[in-house]
Amino acid sequence: MGVLDRLRYQGMMERAKNWRRATLVSNILLIITGFIVCISVLAMYINPRWLSLIQSINQLVDMHVKLGALILFGLLYTLAGLAALRSLKVRSTFLLGLQIFALLILTVVVVATLYGVATQWIATMPIGVSFSVQEFNPGDPKNMAMANIQNVLKCCGRESYRDYHIANEAIPIKWVPFSCCNLNEHSYATCKNVSKPVYRGKLGRWFDPVPPSPDATVVPESFSYTNGCERLIQHCLLPILFLGFITPSLCALISCTFASVYLHFAEKEDPDFDRPLDLRMFTFISGVKSE
């Protein structure tokens, strides 16, 4: 082999190693993003405030299904990244090609799911929030979804607190639910002091043997949050879901690109890459010999 051939061969070997490093790093990034998505969703269920918000929004849209899909896809992306690392370690063209194919199919499924989630969310959420505002009844445990949303997101009504004056007969005019009290400007004690019990759309009750719970009271509209809840739900929670679906998918596409290029050059540039598949990896399967 001449000097030029030797230099050319060394350059080809170096390129193969660089693509292998890029594939390795991209799959590590895929594992990290998939794991973060799973942990983030689980953390939301552990946090009491977020859990209350999730359960309330689940009455408007199928929030549990969407978050469950995020956990599933995050786990699958993590496993796919681990499979790629295993393929690179044993230098198997078959396993790496299979991982690329599976990852592309998974990404298509995730993108299709995201489209369905976004379409259903945008079409259903405004109607769900409007219905929750209309049906809200102070102290009724069956209609507390809006109270929980207002408590966590610090908002009131669909577009503003005035929605209760227009669409809800259980709230007196010039008053809003206790969950609308602006805790950014007023203390909880202040909200409690100015609150009044309400009964059938009027202040006061026919009998009051025990003090009513805060959720069974109303506060003056001057103490209310000014921003509506629909905008916060659409511009805060929907982007979080979007990031949870799209970020691992982008990492998966990058990983597939690097792995495909590496797979193209590896057989020509890496003399050790085209070794037979080591069947010892599959000895846990009945019938596979370890020779």
Each residue's pLDDT tens digit in the chain (291 positions)? 555 555 555 555 667 677 788 889 999 999 999 999 999 999 999 999 889 889 989 888 889 999 999 999 999 999 999 998 888 888 777 888 888 999 999 999 999 999 999 998 888 888 888 888 888 888 777 778 888 899 999 999 999 888 888 878 888 888 999 999 999 998 999 998 888 887 665 666 545 555 667 788 899 989 999 899 998 888 888 888 999 999 999 999 999 999 888 877 766 554 444 444 454 544 544 544 444
Is residue 285 one of the residues assigned to a domain? no
- Residue span of the structural domain in which 145 resides: 37-273
pLDDT single digits (tens) 4-57: 555 555 555 667 677 788 889 999 999 999 999 999 999 999 999 889 889 989
Is residue 191 one of the residues assigned to a domain? yes
Is residue 54 one of the residues assigned to a domain? yes
Is residue 242 one of the residues assigned to a domain? yes
Q: Torsion angle of alpha carbons 118, 120, 121, 126, nearest 10°?
A: 140
121: number of Cβ within 10 Å: 23
Is residue 19 one of the residues assigned to a domain? no
Q: How many domains does the chain have?
A: 1
**Alpha carbons within 13 A on the beta-carbon side of 59:** 19
217: number of Cβ within 10 Å: 23
Tokens of 208: 């009051």
Is residue 67 one of the residues assigned to a domain? yes
Is residue 26 one of the residues assigned to a domain? no
d(CA 289, CA 209): 78
Is residue 168 one of the residues assigned to a domain? yes
% of the chain surpassing 90 pLDDT: 33
pTM of the model: 0.78
